[in-house]
A and B are shown apart, each in its own frame.
Chain A
Amino acid sequence: MASYYYDTGSTRYRFANLAELMAKASPARSGDELAGLAAHSAAQRVAAQLALAEVPLATFLEDLLIPYEADEVTRLIVDRHDRAAFAPVASMTVGEFRNWLLSPHANEVSLAALAPGLTPEMVAAVSKLMRIQDLVLVARKCRVVTRFRNTLGLKGRLATRLQPNHPTDDPTGIAASMLDGLLYGSGDAVIGINPATDNTTAVVTLLKMLDEIIERYQIPTQSCVLTHVTTAIEAIERGAPTDLVFQSIAGTEAANKGFGINLELLRQGQQAALSLERGTVGDQVMYFETGQGSALSANAHHGIDQQTLEARAHGVAREFSPLLVNTVVGFIGPEYLYDGKQIIRAGLEDHFCGKLLGVPMGCDICYTNHAEADQNDMDMLLTLLGAAGCTYIMGIPGADDIMLNYQTTSFHDALYLREVLDLRPAPEFEQWLSESGIYVHGEGIKVAEQLPPRFRNVIEEARKFALPG
């Protein structure tokens, strides 16, 4: 295991190993400080970045941050690495790799071909040398297209997850938020509910309700109830109409154990959903959420900085050919990302790393009330992610999630982004919105004061799913 140093004038900065070099090179954030891994000074941080710029990319294939024997995520990363795909950048240092990514040599085609040759640690390393504009520019060049009942990730498109959560999973309450969202043009990525309980019967009821609404109104989208993968498998065994299987994932085996999962369980979830053959234009059936800090909060970080571990979570996601992956960037709290500045940077890093690895990356642009952040910070991250070509964002009534008690982006926020950056919904969904008289690209929302007649019975239809008592 090599050690690293960098000399600036009279000072020699030493870094004991690659993990320390990566951590010290990370732009400042509270989670690394909490873990005792952050740079002790601004100069030490830049010295680490200068030393990291000299590290050959190939080093990351030899000097493993978490040992192969100790962690199944490391084994996945190493075993799946494609040497042939890696060849075009194999002789570069991290600093040279940044230059190459910014150059015209890196384009939609070359980046897609390169993705299987990149490891999470390589993309994390280069992200640490990048400014915000670099993270935007390079991510924008990446194209990751996925399909289930519509086509996501095409150039010039921005999708939204309609998130109609309700604190008690009341079907009429959920239907009311869902209807509001559809009438504001939201829901092409997925209509996804965070249920209040992991109870399988309740989950099956919600899946049936979502299925019936999507079927009745012929909406070209997919549904998901964001429950634990084991609950989803059980629901599928009970015959629930399940489009996507969801799971929160992290970048180490131990942190995943904290989520009650491992790679084999994710494979079982994927197989269960595939067996239903519910996709019409594709069969990408997995939906993952990630977020910096999850490994530290499970005390499973192995002394690795939280941004590198987040990229490793994207490496886990990649294995299962997901339809959707998003970082829940500000959800975990200020002990991991303290303020708007840290949340904005982390959101762009996560999006960049995911896209470079070939993952269909979206972002839950969000914050909690004890973070030093507000709607203005979210507007900045939203606009920047739009410029970076983010695959999808969340859509929730008035930005206020009354179930999870945090703030994410609203239906209105997505319309703002589509308007200022000329971004369209997924093509199949755009056509449905247009035929339904809801939204026309370039003209905006067409629905006036009154509920369109064909949607008048949504609440009544939802009522029959209400649980007795």
Chain B
Amino acid sequence: MANTPSPADHSPAEHDHSVVTNSWRSLRNHTDARIGLGRSGNSLPTQAMLAFQLDHAQARDAVHLALDTEMLMAGLEQRFPLALRLHSQAQDRSEYLRRPDLGRLLDIPSTQQLAALETQHCDISISIVDGLSARAIHEQALPFLDALLPHLHRAEMTLGPVALVEQGRVAIGDPIGEALNARMSIVLIGERPGLSSPDSLGIYFTWKPRSGCLDSARNCISNVRPRGQSFASAAQRLAYLIKGALEIEASGIALKDNSDATLEISDGQYR
């Protein structure tokens, strides 16, 4: 809201005498909250009501948009020697939303595909997962990788095959990393869309990934998108976490993030 004007930032037309505007709308330079909306009677004016509907519609579309695997696989094949297409046990979006447990498990063809690989040990396995916003993956995944890969090359990390996963949750990176004999796992996942952030990428980092890893054993970098955390700073923080994990051979609460930004846990934490 602060950077790009949305319909809600436009005041109602001057000539609309049914609307009482609020001069304190200018206090929006202190917050992105929808303050000073004005009123028609005591209700929301048309502009503000429809601006909300537009934001909600975009968030809904982000949740239900299918992952463009063709575009993404082409982009991944340019950047990695081997890219895999995998799928969770959640067959479709409706099942994915109702059954978080299935989104954490690979389906049988995916497990077989991984088992058939001539796996060697690698330092890092990268999984790209639709999560709750395919839009976030479409828009942020490849540019973020372009910011991250130079860091990994400089640190002489060996990379396993990259995996593109449909209908997945964060923990699906565990069986993938385990099958690829990876020391560390990086999961790029579409975060639960906020009303003004339908395109937010989350990054989860796990030392020694294996099925059954606890969430407390992960580190999270959240809100990666053009109007949130930049690709460069997220890549830098992830490189910092990798360096720290190699020193203490652990991730999660044992691995302190002493870079300046604060850690956030997202994805449906109950307050």
The reply to whether B33 and A405 form a contact with Cβ atoms under 8 Å apart is no
B23 within 8 A of A: yes
The reply to whether A405 and B42 form a contact with Cβ atoms under 8 Å apart is no
The reply to whether B42 and A412 form a contact with Cβ atoms under 8 Å apart is yes
B97 within 8 A of A: yes
Main secondary structure on chain A at its contact with chain B?
Answer: mixed
Report A-chain residues with C-beta under 8 Å of the C-beta of B198.
369
Report A-chain residues with C-beta under 8 Å of the C-beta of B82.
none
A334 within 8 A of B: yes
Which residues of B40-59 have CB atoms within 8 Å of chain A's CB atoms? 41-44, 48, 52-53, 55-56, 59
- Among the 9-residue stretches A56-64, A133-141, A172-180, A210-218, the one with 4 or more Cβ atoms under 8 Å from chain B is A172-180
Give the number of A-B contacts (CB < 8 Å). 150
Distance in angstroms from A429 CB to nearest chain B CB is 17
Instruction: Give bound CA distance, A369 to B196, whole Å.
Output: 11
Which residues of A426-469 have CB atoms within 8 Å of chain B's CB atoms? 444-445, 448-451, 459
The reply to whether A335 and B99 form a contact with Cβ atoms under 8 Å apart is yes
Q: A400-B34, A415-B43, A450-B23 are in contact. Are A34 and B192 (CB under 8 A)?
A: no
A248 within 8 A of B: yes
Which residue of B21, B37, B44 contacts A449 across the interface (Cβ within 8 Å)?
B21
Report A-chain residues with C-beta under 8 Å of the C-beta of B36.
180
Which residue of B34, B35, B62, B97 contacts A334 across the interface (Cβ within 8 Å)?
B97
Of all chain A residues, the one with the shortest Cβ separation from B267 is A333
A347 within 8 A of B: no
- Among the 9-residue stretches A74-82, A260-268, A289-297, A313-321, the one with 4 or more Cβ atoms under 8 Å from chain B is A289-297
Which residue of A375, A398, A402 contacts B48 across the interface (Cβ within 8 Å)?
A398
Q: A407-B56, A449-B21 are in contact. Are A334 and B98 (CB under 8 A)?
A: yes
Which residue of B33, B42, B271 contacts A177 across the interface (Cβ within 8 Å)?
B33
Instruction: Give bound CA distance, A445 to B36, whole Å.
Output: 13
A232 within 8 A of B: no
The reply to whether B31 and A177 form a contact with Cβ atoms under 8 Å apart is yes
Residue-wise interface mask of B (232-249) relative to A, using a CB-CB cutoff of 8 A (1 in contact, 0 not): 000000000000000000
Report B-chain residues with C-beta under 8 Å of the C-beta of A167.
32
The reply to whether B97 and A405 form a contact with Cβ atoms under 8 Å apart is no
Which residue of A175, A335, A419 contacts B98 across the interface (Cβ within 8 Å)?
A335
The reply to whether A416 and B42 form a contact with Cβ atoms under 8 Å apart is yes
Q: A170-B30, A400-B52 are in contact. Are A332 and B99 (CB under 8 A)?
A: no
Q: A179-B24, A248-B271, A294-B270 are in contact. Are A407 and B99 (CB under 8 A)?
A: no
Instruction: Give bound CA distance, A184 to B62, whole Å.
Output: 33
Which residues of A376-429 have CB atoms within 8 Å of chain B's CB atoms? 396-400, 402, 404-405, 407, 410, 412, 415-416, 419
B63 within 8 A of A: yes
Instruction: Give bound CA distance, A335 to B62, whole Å.
Output: 18
Report B-chain residues with C-beta under 8 Å of the C-beta of A402.
31-33, 194-196
Report A-chain residues with C-beta under 8 Å of the C-beta of B196.
400, 402
Interface centre among A174, A399, A405 (most CB of B within 10 A): A405
Instruction: Give bound CA distance, A123 to B8, whole Å.
Output: 44
The reply to whether B100 and A410 form a contact with Cβ atoms under 8 Å apart is no
Q: A375-B56, A398-B33 are in contact. Are A451 and B23 (CB under 8 A)?
A: yes
Which residue of A194, A197, A226, A332 contacts B270 across the interface (Cβ within 8 Å)?
A332
The reply to whether B30 and A173 form a contact with Cβ atoms under 8 Å apart is yes
B212 within 8 A of A: no
Report B-chain residues with C-beta under 8 Å of the C-beta of A177.
31, 33, 35
Of all chain B residues, the one with the shortest Cβ separation from A291 is B270
The reply to whether A449 and B22 form a contact with Cβ atoms under 8 Å apart is yes
The reply to whether A176 and B27 form a contact with Cβ atoms under 8 Å apart is yes
The reply to whether A405 and B52 form a contact with Cβ atoms under 8 Å apart is no
Which residue of B27, B59, B192 contacts A180 across the interface (Cβ within 8 Å)?
B27
Q: A177-B33, A416-B42 are in contact. Are A328 and B271 (CB under 8 A)?
A: yes
Interface size on A, residues (CB 8 A): 59
Report B-chain residues with C-beta under 8 Å of the C-beta of A173.
30-31, 33
The reply to whether A410 and B270 form a contact with Cβ atoms under 8 Å apart is no
Q: A34-B98, A334-B97, A335-B100 are in contact. Are A369 and B27 (CB under 8 A)?
A: no
Q: A291-B270, A400-B196, A407-B56 are in contact. Are A176 and B42 (CB under 8 A)?
A: no
Instruction: Give bound CA distance, A450 to B20, whole Å.
Output: 10
Which residues of B61-114 have CB atoms within 8 Å of chain A's CB atoms? 62-63, 97-101
B5 within 8 A of A: no
The reply to whether B27 and A368 form a contact with Cβ atoms under 8 Å apart is no
A257 within 8 A of B: no
Question: Could you tell me which B residues sit within 8 Å of A by CB distance?
Answer: 8, 20-24, 27-28, 30-37, 39, 41-44, 48, 52-53, 55-56, 59-60, 62-63, 97-101, 132, 192-198, 262, 266, 268, 270-271
22 A-B pairs whose Cβ atoms sit less than 8 Å apart in the complex: A34-B98, A167-B32, A173-B33, A177-B33, A180-B22, A180-B24, A180-B27, A180-B35, A335-B97, A335-B100, A369-B60, A370-B192, A397-B35, A398-B35, A398-B37, A399-B52, A400-B34, A402-B32, A405-B266, A412-B37, A416-B43, A459-B30
A-B pairs with the 5 shortest C-beta distances? A398-B34, A173-B31, A415-B42, A405-B194, A180-B35
